[in-house]
């Protein structure tokens, strides 16, 4: 009576071994020479040389060229702007009583804030539709959050969340007119909403339409310079319900972004508006890269430094000038 389970177990183990056996390597196939049928030997080489398809990434990293960043993509999601977490961000001046020309948006009871935040930005895009050489339609989403993580006395609240969805129609001029070989590499036309999702008196929001040409230059090897110039026009709102009627006086009518990078190793980016500038530096974390020697896979995570000076670090601070320094981690940009 004990023989049936033993035989069953033996057959089960043999079946599992067959299904989990590793693919043969070239040496295995060479050892079959003159010992097996030619068809079996050929099949061995076929199995040894077939490479498994790489797993499809959920989030596609930023491409190595500006036109490629906005080329049609089958990836579910792609990197849009920088993705980072500043575990420590220090502000020179907190905005304890946010103001606005609209009386409904005047905070009359000040709230004492900690001048330290944990700040993070999450930014992705998705290819909605492609029109061959006539461009692509994208959906973009960027969220910035300012978390008072160091304010334990007040249960570490989120000071501000900024939500920024947008629709972007991206044209690649060199595809539109073949062999044109000109800059700009891309021209983006978009409509963007930005708000902080709060009720009055702390509500802030605005809507814009913009056009953004972008040029790039490769300096041999893997060094690349990208320049993106964006001009926008605010969509007018009813003055009675406009949270921030003077926001254009502080945020201006456009911005200029300059990025200089070496592949996925490091990147320096500067974003300038009329009354503000932000500088982001992303560099390899040597200790993290050494960790890859002891663990499988790649860890594309960099040390991230950020400096901001001026107006509009967040929507609630659109008319509040301050200077901030931050340090943390950033995630794949190409």
**pLDDT tens per residue across span 83-141:** 999 999 999 999 999 999 999 999 999 999 999 999 999 999 999 999 988 999 999 99
**Confidence class for position 43, pLDDT limits 50, 70, 90:** confident
User: Which among 268, 256, 174 has a CA at the least distance from the CA of 212?
Assistant: 256
pLDDT at residue 95 in the model: 96
Flag the least confident range among 114-118, 170-174, 191-195: 170-174
d(CA 107, CA 144): 22
Least confident of 129-133, 161-165, 166-170: 129-133
State residue 154's pLDDT score. Answer: 93
Judged against a pLDDT cut of 60, whether residue 7 lies above it is answered with no
Residue 193 annotated in active site: yes
Cα separation, 121 vs 12, whole angstroms: 51
Q: Which of 163-172, 182-191, 284-293 has the highest mean pLDDT?
A: 163-172
Question: Out of 2.40.230.10, 2.60.40.740, 3.30.360.10, 3.40.50.1580, which CATH number does the structure's domain 61-330 have?
Answer: 2.40.230.10
Asked if pLDDT for residue 158 goes beyond 50, the answer is yes
Domain ranges of the chain: 24-53, 61-330
Segment 192-203 shows an average pLDDT of 96
pLDDT of residue 289: 56
d(CA 122, CA 142): 6
pLDDT of residue 309: 98
In the block, tokens 């070496």 appear at 262
- Residue 70 above 80 pLDDT? yes
Instruction: Give the pLDDT score at 51.
Output: 62
The one catalytic residue among 64, 123, 193, 322 = 193
Q: 190: which strand partners? A: 168, 210
- Reported as a pLDDT band with limits 50, 70 and 90, residue 1 is very low
Q: Taking Cα atoms as reference points, which of 217, 135, 122, 219 lies closest to residue 173?
A: 135
Residue in 195, 217, 264, 304 annotated catalytic:
195
How many whole angstroms separate alpha carbon 167 and alpha carbon 192?
7
Q: Picking from 44-53, 166-175, 179-188, 304-313, which range would have the lowest pLDDT averaged per residue?
A: 44-53
Mean pLDDT score, 265-284: 94
Q: Are 54 and 60 in contact (CB under 8 A)?
A: no
Average pLDDT of the chain to the nearest whole number: 85
155 is catalytic: no
So what's the pLDDT on residue 13?
47
Residues 133, 130: Cα–Cα separation, whole Å: 9
- The count of other CB atoms within 10 Å of the CB of residue 232 is 21
End-to-end CA distance of the chain: 64
* Enclosing H/E stretch for 83: none
């Amino acid at each position: 009576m004990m023989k049936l389970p033993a035989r069953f177990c033996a057959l089960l183990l043999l079946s599992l071994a067959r299904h989990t056996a590793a693919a043969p390597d070239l040496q295995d196939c060479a050892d079959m020479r003159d010992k097996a049928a030619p068809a079996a030997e050929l099949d061995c080489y076929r199995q040894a040389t077939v490479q498994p398809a790489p797993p499809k990434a959920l989030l596609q990293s930023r491409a190595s060229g500006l036109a490629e960043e906005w080329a049609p993509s089958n990836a579910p999601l792609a990197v849009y702007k920088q993705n980072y977490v500043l575990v420590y961000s220090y502000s020179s001046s907190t905005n304890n009583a946010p103001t606005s020309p609209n009386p409904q948006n005047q905070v009359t009871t000040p709230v004492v804030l900690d001048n330290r935040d944990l700040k993070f930005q999450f930014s992705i895009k998705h290819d909605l539709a492609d029109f061959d050489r006539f461009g692509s339609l994208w959906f973009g989403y960027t969220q910035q959050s300012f978390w008072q993580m160091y304010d334990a006395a007040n249960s570490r609240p989120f000071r501000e969340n900024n939500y920024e969805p947008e629709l972007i129609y991206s044209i690649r001029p060199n595809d539109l007119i073949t062999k044109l070989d000109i800059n700009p590499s891309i021209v983006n036309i978009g409509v963007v909403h930005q708000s902080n999702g709060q009720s009055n008196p702390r509500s802030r929001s605005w809507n814009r339409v913009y056009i953004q040409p972008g040029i790039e230059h490769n300096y041999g090897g893997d060094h690349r310079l990208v320049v993106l110039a964006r001009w926008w026009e605010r969509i007018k709102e009813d003055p009675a319900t406009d949270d921030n009627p003077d926001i254009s006086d502080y945020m201006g009518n456009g911005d200029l972004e300059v990025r200089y990078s070496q592949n996925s190793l490091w990147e320096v980016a500067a974003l300038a508006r009329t009354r503000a500038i932000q500088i982001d530096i992303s560099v390899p974390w040597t200790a993290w890269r050494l960790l890859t020697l002891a663990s499988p896979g790649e860890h594309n995570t960099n040390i991230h430094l950020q400096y901001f000076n001026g107006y509009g670090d967040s929507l609630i601070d659109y008319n509040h000038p301050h200077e901030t320094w931050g340090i943390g981690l950033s995630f794949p940009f190409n």
